[in-house]
Chain A
């Protein structure tokens, strides 16, 4: 019986979100809050492993009270239990402070039921860092396996997992000890249309919500804004690409033309910031 925990986050749907023109940050009121798309695949993979090996799927999130909706979505996909840590003290957390807080919650969950595997999405679509998953693994001192696009086998008795990690030009097969932490690519699975009983369960579901005071051994200086060393220097919207040129003619001549254009762009080959 496996116990898989998926760490998930509610994010503004960046496909429709608008940027605040003054601060260049996402205007959260402009977009519906959704379950981070990568995380839906993380939860789905956990549910598939449960179907394959038997066990329990738990989801964990840190967020404000409305994030309960994201947990309900996970229950629709097939999660059994949901936990949420929610407290003002967590507000303003960067990836370092977030992974700290989630790790404390994972400790508490593992006291209820030992954890075999943790799955996270590859990254969130509002932050795009992909640091929280590896951060948790580092803090728990378990192997992080990033960019996983296939789980070949989980052998609980033997204490090992075999997965495929996506590379730029293929994949590598990695064997790890258990417990370990995976961050998954979208292509790892397709999330099917959820069955009616899951929807009904989800609509009624109330997750367990913990405040900081419910967690053990917490160093409050490592939480929220206080525990976040990240400094955002400035934020800007990338300029829309302009101009460009459509090359004509047969493919070979197009390649030649392209090479000519590229080679003339000296700035592409200059070494920036290096010692002279």
Chain B
């Protein structure tokens, strides 16, 4: 007799673990299936963990979770070939409890988070791949795994299997990604002495810094680079839309090498030793690309539902919130014994009403816009660098003369109109 559970959660990333945690805590018989050797073993993220959503799930988690550094400074770098325009904010209020955000290494964090779900009674099964959902009369009633005697059954299956969810695809919930709906990110974890990190990034022990890099980090292709401080490692990476890589015929690791060797970046990572190389997809299609996320007996959460805010590099937090909302919906469904699509649609409504849905909607055209008009990355960032260089170079000419020169350098009146139009457009998609 195959085992029957209340809920099967596929995938132990932030979405799946949050969902399993919340269900188990509420006394639901839930099994969490992960294909990796342990949760997090295959997961990739820069990564900034947002305190708020995690704190909602496990209050005060930062007192015991394996975190790298609380982030006290966020910098933004507009990169040109041999210059960078940098701005940022550093606030010591972020160095104190309850903190703002943290850098994390997912291999450690996910494992810890999953152990918390286990402690609440969730059954974690590692090293097991879910091959497909078992569908009967148009309802998902369980999953088939790659194990011998591998079928298990449940009232609801939660698909938290991450970006490019094969399981949701098999159910016909979404189609193959288009190259402009998905980004490919590559990153490296670089080993560097703790004291050197603190020295180089102007940090006290137990303080961290994030640098988001725009412009030449991606050779003008739409995307971003990042450089984050961990305890005794740095995370450096770069992600671009697949369409950009194809168009410019660049291989992702070439781009990473380029960033690592960029004269504005290289000094930060000098003397570090590569420890790990990782690559992962990020769903960036946003609101317009959202697949179907509920069906009879099935709910899709996290990256599998393409819940990522590419503009603000938020994903793990949306994954967590969606996992919790799915769990709450399942608890509701359990009271009525009704697991139909109609009932579970409550999840979709809740989600679209939360910050997740609202932010996805707000930025629904942003990625598409910047993809369609490459001049922002290709042209305006270099222009900003030139302007800054002009303004801050002391060469005897008056500031007024400098302004005139900058204004002239931007180009003809037509060119200026075009930039003004682009700025308005950018404002519209971001506002």
Contacts and interface: CB of A to CB of B under 8 A. Distances in A.
A203 interface: yes
A16 to B, nearest CB: 12
A193 B125 contact: no
B383 interface: no
A272 interface: no
Interface in B81-121: none
Contacts of A192: 148
A196 B123 contact: no
Interface string A200-242: 1001100000000000000000000000000000000000000
A196 B148 contact: yes
A53 to B, nearest CB: 22
A203 B152 contact: no
A195 B125 contact: no
Given A196-B152, A197-B3, A203 B124 contact: yes
B149 A203 contact: no
B124 A197 contact: no
Given A200-B3, A200-B31, A194 B124 contact: no
Interface string B124-156: 110010000000000000000111111110000
A199 interface: yes
B18 to A, nearest CB: 19
A196 B124 contact: no
Contact of A199 (B2, B38, B128): B128
Given A200-B3, A200-B31, A194 B147 contact: yes
Contact of B147 (A195, A203, A204): A195
A200 B125 contact: yes
A114 B123 CA distance: 33
By secondary structure, the B interface counts as loop
B58 to A, nearest CB: 21
Nearest to B151: A196
Contacts, number: 36
A193 B125 CA distance: 13
B148 A195 contact: yes
Contacts of B38: 32
Nearest to A192: B148
Contacts of A197: 2-3, 149
Nearest to B38: A32
B147 A193 contact: yes
A195 B146 CA distance: 9
A199 B38 CA distance: 14
Nearest to B126: A199
Contacts of A203: 123-125
A29 to B, nearest CB: 12
Given A194-B147, A196-B147, A204 B128 contact: no
A195 B148 CA distance: 4
A203 B128 CA distance: 13
B150 A195 contact: yes
Nearest to B150: A196
B184 to A, nearest CB: 29
Contacts of B146: 193
Contacts of B147: 193-196, 199
Interface in B170-222: none
A200 B125 CA distance: 7
Pick the most buried of B124, B128, B146, B147: most chain A CB atoms within 10 A of its CB.
Answer: B147
Contacts of B3: 196-197, 200
Nearest to B31: A200
A32 B150 CA distance: 27
Contacts of B2: 197
Contacts of A193: 146-148
A178 B428 CA distance: 84
Contacts of A199: 125, 128, 147
Contacts of A195: 147-150
Nearest to B111: A32
A195 B150 CA distance: 7
Nearest to A197: B149
A10 to B, nearest CB: 15
Contacts of A196: 3, 125, 128, 145, 147-152
Contacts of A200: 3, 31, 123, 125, 152
Nearest to B32: A203
A34 to B, nearest CB: 10
A196 B125 CA distance: 9
A199 B124 CA distance: 9
Nearest to B124: A203
A196 B146 CA distance: 9
A169 B145 CA distance: 43
Contacts of B31: 200
Interface in B245-303: none
Contacts of B151: 196
A199 B3 CA distance: 11
Nearest to B152: A196
Interface string A22-42: 000000000010000000000
Contacts of B150: 195-196
Interface of A: 32, 192-197, 199-200, 203-204
Interface of B: 2-3, 31, 38, 123-125, 128, 145-152
Closest 6 CB pairs of A and B: A195-B148, A196-B147, A195-B149, A196-B150, A203-B123, A199-B125
25 contacts: A32-B38, A193-B146, A193-B147, A195-B147, A195-B148, A195-B150, A196-B125, A196-B145, A196-B147, A196-B148, A196-B149, A196-B150, A196-B151, A197-B2, A197-B3, A197-B149, A199-B147, A200-B3, A200-B31, A200-B123, A200-B152, A203-B123, A203-B124, A203-B125, A204-B123
Given A196-B3, A199-B125, A200-B125, 10 more contacts: A194-B147, A195-B148, A196-B147, A196-B148, A196-B149, A196-B152, A197-B3, A200-B31, A200-B123, A203-B123
